[in-house]
């Protein structure tokens, strides 16, 4: 198993893949100054030796670009830390990482290359789009839909049935009580749109 990206986020994913029984072979990173990652070799590009890979980069846009670049060429396993509580009746897309202490309830669908971060709680029938990031200790109540590429900030809470659009950013600690459109930054209690993302 290889990681693409040698960031702090990758340090956590290393722990998760090792807890899942994978062996880390190395890290791919274009930074010429990064020669070593926690004792593992760093390579400037993906080679033919790379069969399995997790994109260990926090930026949703960059994960999308890399995921699309290598789609169908490399296996992207989904990895779930053993401490997470995950219903057997959910779907998790390729390349998605479920971190320590997260809770995923029945009939939920998580897309491709998502980050379900530490202690996040996702209740029944939620739908999380590809490349989304649900930050530490965010809570999505039942039947919440989060669009592709959206980032839900740490400690945010969405009441049941909320729809959050594509490629939006929800600020940390927000209380989401009404639908949020595509391509905006929104935050607060109650959560309000503050600007559009161009």
Output the average pLDDT for the chain.
Answer: 96
Q: What is the pLDDT, as a whole number, of residue 17?
A: 94
- What stretches in the chain show pLDDT beneath 50? none
* Nearest-angstrom CA–CA distance, 73 and 53: 11
- Tokens describing residue 48: 């033919």
In a domain, 20, yes or no: yes
In a domain, 49, yes or no: yes
Say whether both 96 and 63 belong to one domain. Answer: no
* Nearest-angstrom CA–CA distance, 23 and 20: 9
Domain that holds residue 178: 79-190
Q: What is the pLDDT, as a whole number, of residue 48?
A: 85
* CB distance 50 to 28 below 8 Å: yes
Q: What is the pLDDT, as a whole number, of residue 35?
A: 82
* Nearest-angstrom CA–CA distance, 195 and 190: 15
- The enclosing domain of 43 has a CATH number of 3.40.50.20
Q: What is the pLDDT, as a whole number, of residue 192?
A: 97
**Integer angstrom CA distances of residue 156 from 47, 115, 173:** 39, 15, 4
Q: Cα-Cα-Cα-Cα dihedral of 13, 65, 77, 136, to 10°?
A: 40
Say whether both 51 and 95 belong to one domain. Answer: no
pTM of this prediction exceeds 0.75: yes
- Taking alpha carbons only, the member of 4, 132, 148 closest to residue 75 is 4
* Nearest-angstrom CA–CA distance, 124 and 90: 9
Q: What is the pLDDT, as a whole number, of residue 115?
A: 98
- Taking alpha carbons only, the member of 188, 131, 178 closest to residue 156 is 188
Q: What is the pLDDT of residues 131-149, one digit of tens each?
A: 999 999 999 999 999 999 9
Q: Which of 9, 81, 113, 124 is catalytic?
A: 124
Q: How many domains does the chain have?
A: 2
Catalytic-residue membership of 124: yes
Q: What is the pLDDT, as a whole number, of residue 9?
A: 93
């Amino acid at each position: 198993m290889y990681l693409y990206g040698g960031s702090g986020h990758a340090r956590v994913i290393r722990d998760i893949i090792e807890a899942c029984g994978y062996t880390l072979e190395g890290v791919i990173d274009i930074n010429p100054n990064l020669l070593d990652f926690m004792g593992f070799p760093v390579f400037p590009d993906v080679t033919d030796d790379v069969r399995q890979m997790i994109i260990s980069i926090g930026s949703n846009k960059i994960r999308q670009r890399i995921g699309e670049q290598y789609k169908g060429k490399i296996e992207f396993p989904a990895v779930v830390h053993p401490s997470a509580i995950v219903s057997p009746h959910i779907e998790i897309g390729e390349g998605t990482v479920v971190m320590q202490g997260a809770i995923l309830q029945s009939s939920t669908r998580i897309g491709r290359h998502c980050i379900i971060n530490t202690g996040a709680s996702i209740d029944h029938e939620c739908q999380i789009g590809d490349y989304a990031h649900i930050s530490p200790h965010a809570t999505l109540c039942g039947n919440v839909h989060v669009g592709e590429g959206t980032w839900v900030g740490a400690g945010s809470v969405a009441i049941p049935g909320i729809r959050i659009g594509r490629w939006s950013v929800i600020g940390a600690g927000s209380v989401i009580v009404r639908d949020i459109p595509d391509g905006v930054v929104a935050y607060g209690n109650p959560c309000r749109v503050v600007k559009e993302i161009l």
